[in-house]
Structure 1
């Protein structure tokens, strides 16, 4: 049985709409950058090697700065942190364009700073939802935000390709800079007063304080562990092996495109569903949704019809948003407001930070053990990690009182 939402629509909240617009604009700029640089390769403005270096340095910039960003967003006005982070992206993105064909070092340095700007935004955006949205509307708000992110993921390649018919990659980078600029200026004022008492503490001490806050919530640590395992093993293995299976088993790249699109469409459906659905045991329902991703490596392992593989990707997409939205909502509700950005930065650091590590180990593991063994092991991990997290008593409702 479930309970129906009775809260008024979050879309009537002007402050949230401004926050949502800023999140969407920055997300579109973030997701468009790899496709714009890919077009630059096709234009021969940069090489494939240079593309890899630039994207890698952007990731490094993100991972290095995200712990600091959480501390800054808890110490200072979160709106100001987002403003300066977005402004950084707006200023440095054209520098990437300036370096095309001239200096790989300049491009890589600019990309690292853009990644740092992205890192500055993420924890502050999450914490600002708790500032401008009442608790009764936060699940709607997080669902609306993730809907925007998924639409952005789906639309960014197409919009970039269409724009490329009119302008070159350098001009497209200027357009993404304009998106960063729009995100910087559209944000609402937050309601939380900055915590001046922590200004004298070191960044390490402040981050450790956020870590201690996370440790106060056993469901959070177990859920974060399950999410990290799924991203590091499930996402990494399927990202490497889906193109191989598409080519070797189905003899067409169309299955690769269809599967990735199906995942995004499933996520859109999942976000729309969880925006209104209130499970009686939200934590267990969320972890069950997370476990759905285990079906993907199984479908890649077994000789299933391509239609089954596509359907599995839809189910996995639905499941990931059945996890994400209640997860973000619970973090915003349960974590002490003054430490929310630091806990969110820990979330991003582990769940996304270990993804490159997983990718680095998957290819050697496939060479040593074989694709079948790797897919089977990753499927077991994707099922077992959420199941283990569900054994923590407080995971039932993603609250210490459950």
Structure 2
């Protein structure tokens, strides 16, 4: 087992002797596949939105297709977590990418002909997207050595932010030369890259696969193995506290961004510039933070991450008062910085602390709760604004964003995102599987 590096101070960074993570061929292949899947995931609703603009789809049809994609995502995430722990994580990525890759041309075939066919294909695409998430998370822990996982996770999130920043311009440019069906076929090709480019992980099997088999119906075996993942998550109080805080922030702060920001931009400022500027500032802040956290090793990583998560509260807070648009954009830049200061240490700690043979299941629980409940917040915030007023709802969102991470920080193990007193940053956790 490699010798763990000594804990670092706030100002210290990784050794300069380490080569950049993207020069590691195994990780570069994994990063390329994950980047392609992220771009394909982002592009589908954007391209379908273009179909609404040219009247090939109605707004109602678009809502149905996005709902079907979300349903497929939520259904696939827990299943993929179990499969990725039971079998090869690389195999889960392969089949998930192929499924989403096949779904894209089916959506193209149904465009203007059958909304039902498109909805079924959108659900399959969402399932592929959902299945990839925990598998990529666990595969990163296999491909990258513990000392460089924070750098690897920063590179992963950096790719997501770059996709968000350049994706709209690229898609709009391509739409000048290509029709909607061609763009959908391009999304299918991106999913094929996600499926085929990543290389194999380090392990050949898992504890779940090698454990003594017991004859059970398939759904009983699935529920039992997923429950094992929940029990593993419960062994880490910092994880439960952090997940609760993350879920609360996404359900409120993300909903304020998705619904209240466009309303405030239109009604209070009379221009879409505030909306565009705030979202650009958010992405730019996240990009800067990803570059910073790739090398920075804060002594109290958990507290630093939760402080970053709480910074999202400045986004809804800035919408409550008649301030200059620059203030709103600055608040969203701070929120973007904070979210990446949380994301990267959070993923890294999960890969380090969770039992390796249960990592995909615990990661699937993370994605299922944090991102799965986001649509609930989006669905409720507009009726809440109608009932209680914009300022009251934004105040609740801001208070929740500030308070939830503060409460999570009170959990003793939250300081280092580790049950060990000093957190042992960068050390590989060798955990025996609990039965």
User: Does residue 1:157 correspond to 2:168, yes or no?
Assistant: yes
Which structure is higher in helix share?
A: 1
Q: Could you list the runs of 5+ residues in structure 2 that have no partner in the other structure?
A: 1-9, 422-435
C-alpha RMSD of the superposition: 1.1
Q: CA deviation at 1:2?
A: 2.8
Q: Which residue of 1 aligns with 2:39?
A: 28
Counterpart pick for 1:5 among 14, 26, 48: 14
Counterpart pick for 2:390 among 371, 385, 396: 371
Q: What do the CA deviations read for 1:284-304 (whole angstroms, capped 9, x no partner)? A: 000000000011111000221
After superposing on structure 2, the runs of 4+ consecutive aligned residues of structure 1 that deviate more than 4 Å are: 198-201
Secondary structure at the aligned position of 1:2 is classed as: coil
Describe how 1:228-377 pairs up with structure 2 within 5 A.
228-377=247-396
Q: CA deviation at 1:9?
A: 2.3
Count how many residue pairs are aligned between Structure 1 and Structure 2: 402
CA distance in 2, matches of 1:236, 1:46: 25
CA distance in 2, matches of 1:217, 1:2: 28
Describe how 1:56-135 pairs up with structure 2 within 5 A.
56-135=67-146
Q: CA deviation at 1:13?
A: 1.4
Q: What do the CA deviations read for 1:3-40 (whole angstroms, capped 9, x no partner)? A: 21114421231100000000001111110111111111
CA distance in 1, matches of 2:41, 2:345: 24
Q: Could you list the runs of 5+ residues in structure 1 that have no partner in the other structure?
A: none
CA distance in 2, matches of 1:56, 1:258: 28
> Which sits farther off after the overlay, 6-15 or 379-388?
6-15
Secondary structure at the aligned position of 1:316 is classed as: helix
Secondary structure at the aligned position of 1:252 is classed as: coil
Q: CA deviation at 1:361?
A: 1.4
CA distance in 2, matches of 1:25, 1:11: 15
> Which sits farther off after the overlay, 196-205 or 180-189?
196-205
Q: CA deviation at 1:100?
A: 0.8
Structure 2 length as normaliser, TM-score? 0.91
User: Does residue 1:203 correspond to 2:222, yes or no?
Assistant: yes
Structure 1 length as normaliser, TM-score? 0.98
CA distance in 2, matches of 1:92, 1:110: 5
